[in-house]
Amino acid sequence: MKIQSAKVIVTCPGRNFVTLKIVTDQGVYGIGDATLNGREKSVVSYLEDHVVPCLIGMDPRRIEDIWQYLYRGAYWRRGPVTMRAIAAVDMALWDIKAKMANMPLYQLLGGRSRDGVMVYGHANGSDIAETVDAVGHYIDMGYKAIRAQTGVPGVKDAYGVGRGKLYYEPADAQLPSVTGWDTRKALNYVPKLFEKLRETYGFDHHLLHDGHHRYTPMEAAQLGKALEPYSLFWLEDCTPAENQEAFKLVRQHTTTPLAVGEVFNTIWDAKDLIQNQLIDYIRCTIVGAGGITHMRRIADFAALYQIRTGSHGATDLSPVTMGCALHFDTWVPNFGIQEYMRHTEETDAVFPHDYHFEAGELFCGETPGHGVDIDETLAAKYPYKPAYLPVARLEDGTMWNW
């Protein structure tokens, strides 16, 4: 068996997605996701100019060797563009191998470790009252875990407050829009949200919150300490993780569980955080961290330190990544939770899939492969639309972390 062809498909059914389709000389094909929010053209160019030509004629069953070829064989390695291109190839090859074996992907990985995958949804509002209502809506839909974000008085377009109740897409303009931030106002306001949520709904549901890299380590420690009475499932991305040792300061001052990793590309980005037990959940994604092959290494390493997975699952990941993630989540022994932002009906139509939501959990299907396909005819009806993520500035105009 040889790889006969590979092509990149870009479509925008509400947001941009980059999909790689690999076809073998025996007619079996697999698809992978290479979406990189706001930088789609970069990953398309890398795939078409540097990766696809190398794949032709290779044996698609040699997943590990191809992964090493694309990673170790490149002198300039790592980074979001390279690793997402590798991830797309890896997903497609696992899809092909599982189809050849006539079994769903989770079986090829080692079988089930659980029946369903607990997911969390995104509840947000312009103020505390709106967010409390939004959390109630998710509870009514059967969610066991909800991430809660609120607008902050005096802060322009605070992070996490979307333009819809179920479908949130932050990339909103052909050039980056400017949002605001004020750490002190957030530190004073966010704990009040969770006080109201626990007062309204009690402690039966898991609540999560995303700091989105906005706080210094000591500010993050203050927030974690203030949230302790409300028993959060986790505080996510509380401080930028370029300096992994920064989490030591946070860890020393709060028992609120910490989660990080959606912007990580390899195990090296999380190595110190994991082996020093500075986090509780690792949030790397299959598309961002080099595919299933590399995610297995990250999860296995994390398991040594009783750290669980909690993969990013926003709408900047296509249903292809979600399908792969659910098979991975179904298998991985140290699973924690899976983020689940619902895609639009248009996106679901372009990417038909067999996973489904029920009672706060997602369930992967039994279709051979990862269970997600692409309707190329329909995809062609949604051409690429340039869209950037916003930027954030403090009140005095200083650039901040979005």
| pLDDT tens for the 402 residues of the chain, in order | 999 999 999 999 999 999 999 999 999 999 999 999 989 999 999 999 999 999 999 999 999 999 999 999 998 899 999 999 999 999 999 999 999 999 999 999 999 999 999 999 999 999 999 999 999 999 999 999 999 999 999 998 888 786 666 666 777 778 889 999 999 999 999 999 999 999 999 999 999 999 999 999 999 999 999 999 999 999 999 999 999 999 999 999 999 999 999 999 999 999 999 999 999 999 999 999 999 999 999 999 999 999 999 999 999 899 999 999 999 999 999 999 999 999 999 999 999 999 999 999 999 999 999 999 999 999 999 999 988 889 999 999 999 998
User: What does 316-381 look like in DSSP terms, one character per residue?
Assistant: TS-HHHHHHHHHHHHH-TTB--EE-PPPPHHHHHHS-B--EEETTEEE---SSBSSB---HHHHTT
The pLDDT score that the predictor gives to residue 164 is 61
pLDDT digits (tens, 9 = 90+) for 153-173: 999 888 878 666 666 677 777
> What is the C-alpha to C-alpha distance for residues 402 and 399, in angstroms, rounded to an integer?
9
State pLDDT tens for residues 180-202. Answer: 999 999 999 999 999 999 999 99
| C-alpha distance from residue 228 to each of 94, 246, 344 (Å) | 41, 20, 35
Q: What is the pLDDT of residue 307?
A: 98
In a 13 Å sphere around the CA of 4, the CA atoms on its Cβ side amount to 10
pLDDT confidence of residue 165: 65
Q: How far apart are CA 84 and CA 290, in angstroms?
A: 6
CA 146 to chain centre: 15
Between vectors from CA 291 to CA 38 and to CA 324, what angle results, nearest 5°? Answer: 95
Write the DSSP assignment of 217-274 as a string of letters. HHHHHHHHHHHGGG--SEEES-S--SSTTHHHHHHHH--S-EEE-TT--SGGGTHHHH
Q: 26 in the Ramachandran plot: left (φ > 0), alpha (ψ -120 to 50) or beta?
A: alpha
First to last CA, the chain: 46
CA nearest neighbour of 289 among 119, 45, 79, 6: 79
Query: Can you tell me the distance from the alpha carbon of 265 to that of 257, in angstroms, rounded to the nearest whole number?
Result: 22
* Closest to 231 measured CA to CA, from 253, 215, 260, 209: 209
Cα 226 from Cα 222, distance rounded (Å): 6
What residue type is assigned to position 231 of the chain? S
Distance between CA atoms of 197 and 194, rounded to whole angstroms?
A: 5
Nearest Cα neighbor of 309 from 331, 291, 292, 332 is 332
**Which amino acid is residue 368, in one-letter code?**
P
pTM of the model as a whole: 0.96
At CA 252, angle to CA 247 and CA 256, rounded to 5? 80
Question: Which positions are annotated as active-site residues?
Answer: 159, 212
For residues 307 and 88, the answer to whether their CB atoms sit within 8 Å is no
Cα-trace Rg, the chain: 20
Q: Is 165 exposed, middle or buried (0-12, 13-18, 19+ CB in 10 A)?
A: middle
Kind plus residue range of the DSSP H or E element containing 116? none
Residue that has been written with the tokens 């190839």 in this structure: 89
For position 335, what pLDDT does the model report? 98
